[in-house]
């Protein structure tokens, strides 16, 4: 049997946590994604559906780009906050999930039995907590493009660290091999650094989209007070 | 019918293709944060497989789709094909995600059957 170098493997493999834990988070992922599918519909129309497909493709591409954070340690985009800001949290969680699914099925990246844990951490936790941060900062985000860029950076940093905490919880429930405190310290430490890269990529991407097509940025498009009748794409030329 | 921002879509796709097809060759080969943690405590061989010591990665199984033609972001296991695998991945993701979102989307203007763009 050919052994794989795993040089570009990026997500949890099979067996990193035990079977009951994998099953538990598989269930969490299925339930979470069911809610996302149901709620995504209202955020998808003729203009945003192609955009969401492209955002997923973009996240696949950028996840390949591991950047160094420490000697012998790299990081890569997770993409939750990026997706949530551009296409909304429900559609965004589906974008990240589709990327993770294809990576596991076709690219041998992330175990099949670890899909539940990986989706829970990166697609659900990362996306929704990142979106929560972005919404909390919406007054800053809607003030200027600079404000939006700063919001994107902070939301993305938090999404990275929270996703790494998701792993620590799963490891605490059903993992073994290293002291829990060490896992916590290393995971959060590494991801506090990786989050800076995630923040920069997210800020750059959201800033670029906002410069060209501000009507395609979900966060600021949906910031209008609910009294106002929302007309999709009113700011388009 | 409002015009779709086709030029923007095209530009976005080109950026994604360039990142996956070209920039991916410059990506760091070091283990990512998660792998660095799971490998902590183990001695690794040249291919990064744990051969001694005690670490989380020792529990990892062989990947079920390790024999896939695109496994490890290479086409048929050939070296130097990362970019090709990346481009295929971007297009497949666009196809799957775009297809799903197209099915899920709200139809505009009272489900008008004559949607010609």
Å between B3 CA and nearest CA of chain A: 9
Q: Which of A16, A61, A106 sits opposite B90 (nearest CB)?
A: A61
Q: What is the pLDDT of residues B46-83, one digit of tens each?
A: 777 888 888 999 999 888 888 899 999 999 989 999 99
Query: Is A56 close to B71, i.e. CB distance below 8 A?
Result: no
Position A10 scores a pLDDT of 78
Sketch the domain layout of chain A as residue ranges: 19-221
pTM for this predicted structure:
0.91
Provide the residue ranges of all domains of chain B, joining segments of one domain with +: 1-27+65-108, 31-61
Q: What is the structure's pLDDT at A2? A: 36
CATH class of the domain comprising A19-221: mainly alpha
Chain B residue nearest residue A232, CA to CA:
B2
- Quick one: what percent of chain A has pLDDT higher than 90? 89
List strand residue ranges (DSSP E) for chain A, in order.
Answer: 67-70, 73-75
**Phi, psi (degrees; rounded to nearest 5) at A199:** -65, -45
Cβ–Cβ < 8 Å for A67, A8: no
Separation in Å, CA of A129 to nearest CA in chain B: 20
Q: Are A11 and A110 in contact (CB under 8 A)?
A: yes
User: What is the pLDDT confidence band of residue B110, given thresholds at 50, 70 and 90?
Assistant: very low
Long-range CB pairs of B9-15 (<8 Å, 24+ gap) are B9/A50, B9/A51, B9/A54, B11/A212, B12/A51, B12/A54, B12/A58, B12/A209, B13/A54, B13/A57, B13/B90, B13/B94, B15/A58
Task: Say if residue A231's pLDDT is above 70.
Answer: no
Q: Read off the pLDDT band of B108 (50, 70, 90).
A: low
**CB–CB contact A58 B12 (8 Å):** yes
Residue of B17, B93, B95 for testing the chain A interface, max A β-carbons within 10 Å: B93
Contacts of A131 (CB under 8 A, 6+ apart): A80, A81, A84, A85, A88, A89, A92, A155
* ipTM of the prediction: 0.90
Token pair 């988070």 is found at A25
């Amino acid at each position: 049997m050919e052994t794989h170098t795993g040089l570009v493997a990026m997500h949890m493999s099979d067996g990193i946590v035990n079977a009951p834990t994998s099953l538990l988070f598989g269930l969490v992922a299925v339930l979470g994604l069911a809610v996302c599918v149901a709620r995504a519909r209202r955020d998808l129309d003729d203009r945003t559906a192609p955009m969401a497909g492209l955002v997923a493709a973009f996240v696949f591409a950028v996840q390949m780009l591991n950047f160094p954070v420490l000697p012998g340690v790299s990081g890569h985009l997770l993409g939750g906050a990026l997706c949530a800001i551009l296409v909304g949290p429900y559609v965004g969680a589906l974008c990240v999930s589709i990327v993770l699914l294809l990576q596991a099925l076709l690219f041998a990246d992330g175990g099949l039995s670890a899909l539940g844990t990986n989706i829970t951490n990166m697609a659900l936790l990362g996306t929704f907590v990142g979106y929560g941060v972005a919404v909390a900062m919406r007054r800053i985000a809607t003030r200027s493009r600079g404000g939006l860029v700063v919001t994107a950076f902070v939301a993305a940093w938090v999404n990275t660290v929270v996703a790494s905490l998701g792993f620590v919880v799963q490891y605490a429930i059903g993992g073994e091999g290293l002291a829990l405190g060490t896992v916590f310290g290393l995971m959060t430490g590494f991801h506090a650094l990786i989050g800076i890269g995630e923040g920069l990529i997210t800020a750059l991407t959201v800033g670029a989209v906002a410069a060209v097509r501000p009507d395609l940025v979900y966060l600021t498009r949906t910031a209008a007070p609910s009294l106002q009748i929302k007309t999709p794409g009113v700011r388009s030329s | 019918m409002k015009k779709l921002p086709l030029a923007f879509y095209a530009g976005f796709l080109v950026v994604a293709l360039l990142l996956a097809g070209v920039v991916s060759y410059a990506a760091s080969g070091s283990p990512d944060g998660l792998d660095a943690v799971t490998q902590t405590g183990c001695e690794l061989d040249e291919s990064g497989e744990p051969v001694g010591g005690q670490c989380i990665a020792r529990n990892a199984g062989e990947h079920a789709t390790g024999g896939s033609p695109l496994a490890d972001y290479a086409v048929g296991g050939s070296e130097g094909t990362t970019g090709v695998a990346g481009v295929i991945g971007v297009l497949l993701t666009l196809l799957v995600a775009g297809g799903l979102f197209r099915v899920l989307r709200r139809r505009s203007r009272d489900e008008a059957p004559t949607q010609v763009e």
